[in-house]
Amino acid sequence: MRQHRWNQGGVLVLGILLGVLLAVALLGLGPGVRVEATATQGVDNFAIATGFVDAGVEALYFLDFITGDLRAVIISRRTAEFDALYEYNIQSDFGTQIKNPKYLMVTGRADLPRGQRSTQLGKSLVYIAEATTGQMYAYALPWDSSASAAGKPQSGKFIPLGGGLIRSTFIRDAE
């Protein structure tokens, strides 16, 4: 009966090789995971949020709680200057009877169909909720990627997509 003995160097090389193979299998050798983030911040009667409208193109959304004005500005990839402005007043959707509105605003990713025109909807939606009435509405902005690529300014109105009550009980606005 023959007995084989591994020397310490051979065991070390085999251990390193197995460790590398295990690491490659678990972690992969690809470019990694691409991370994209949006942000939302609010203070007193004003909120801002960010969201992508196209690949590599981000909008900055503003909501003025007092006037109900929702706006978005977009920086051009060609000129590095603001070249797009979108506006919409949300008060008619939520009702003008809200004494001290308490809005929450976030953006969400969307990939909605192009439709019949060259203009499509941006790749993010703006969701606005009003805490005292329990209402929520979603908005999109029209986006023409061809105009953006050509460096042409864009403007327009947000497109209301729908919404309504998300809470069944009305909370009285306290002063």
DSSP conformation letters of 32-85: --------EEEETTEEEEEEEEETTEEEEEEEETTT-EEEEEEE-TTTSSEEEE
Q: Closest by alpha carbon to 57, among 162, 146, 133, 158?
A: 146
Q: In this predicted structure, what is the pLDDT of residue 160?
A: 92
Residue 146 confidence (pLDDT): 82
Specify the pTM. Answer: 0.72
Cβ atoms within 10 Å, residue 137: 19
CA separation for the pair 149, 60 (Å, rounded):
19
The H or E element containing residue 126 is strand 124-130
CA distance 163 to 160: 9
Identify which of 161, 153, 152 has the alpha carbon closest to the alpha carbon of residue 127.
161
Q: Residue 78: what pLDDT?
A: 81
DSSP state of 171: P
pLDDT at 32: 57
What pLDDT is stored for residue 3 in this prediction? 47
Give Cα separations from 58 to 13, 28, 107, 128 (angstroms): 50, 30, 11, 18
List, for the chain, all residue ranges whose pLDDT scores fall below the cut of 50. Answer: 1-3, 174-175
- Please tell me the predicted confidence (pLDDT) of residue 116: 55
> Would you state the pLDDT for residue 47?
93
> SS3 of 162, please?
strand
